[in-house]
């Protein structure tokens, strides 16, 4: 009916789906309870959406239609995206123990330390536990790497990227 190729229709639909899902994914944090530092999450505003689609060069009528489509469907899109998101385990608690082997039958003088950790996780209302064991040197290296990663997350460039990923 439209005298347009199948590829053009497919790309148009994929582009529209991408625009709506990415716009619905982006969240803005608004503090609503200063005492506890809680934040209220909401979708991007109408102005932000209009600014995003304005650069595409569509007519004003089409921009208004896209905005109305976004406003009508953003809550439903967010709920569907929430259902599709993988349910990752979350931290519950950690137990740890330091074991040191001071001697054995063959070696009377030795010091062999080991750190054993039991990591309790919550996943889909079920609790699981993972037992990990390492030597202190590896544990210190891991701590340094994690602290370095946290330090990099405080840089402006990383904050900007993370803000755009939400």
Neighbours of 48 (CB within 10 A): 12
Stated pTM of the model: 0.46
Which is more confident, 99 or 30? 99
HSE-CB at 142 with a 13 A cutoff on CA atoms is 8
Which is more confident, 33 or 49? 49
Domain ranges of the chain: 6-87, 89-134, 137-165
Per residue in 63-90, pLDDT (tens digit) is 888 888 888 888 888 888 878 877 788 8
| Phi–psi pair at 108, nearest 5 degrees | -80, -30
Mean pLDDT within 51-65 = 82
Mean pLDDT within 43-60 = 77
CB 124 within 8 A of CB 92: no
């Amino acid at each position: 009916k439209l005298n347009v190729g199948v590829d053009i229709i497919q790309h148009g639909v994929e582009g529209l789906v991408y625009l709506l899902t990415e716009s619905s994914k982006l969240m803005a944090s608004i503090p609503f309870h200063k005492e506890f530092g809680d934040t209220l999450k909401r979708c991007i505003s109408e102005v932000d959406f209009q600014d995003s689609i304005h650069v595409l060069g569509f007519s004003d009528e089409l921009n208004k239609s896209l905005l109305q489509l976004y406003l009508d469907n953003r809550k439903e899109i967010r709920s569907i995206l929430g259902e599709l998101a993988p349910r990752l385990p979350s931290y519950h608690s950690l137990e740890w123990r330091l074991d040191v082997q001071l001697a054995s039958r063959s070696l009377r003088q030795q010091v062999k330390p080991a750190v054993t950790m039991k990591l309790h996780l919550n996943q889909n209302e079920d609790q699981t536990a993972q037992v990990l064991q390492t030597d202190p040197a590896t544990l210190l290296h891991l701590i340094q790497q994690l602290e370095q990663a946290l330090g990099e997350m405080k840089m402006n460039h990383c904050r900007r990227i993370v803000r755009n990923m939400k």
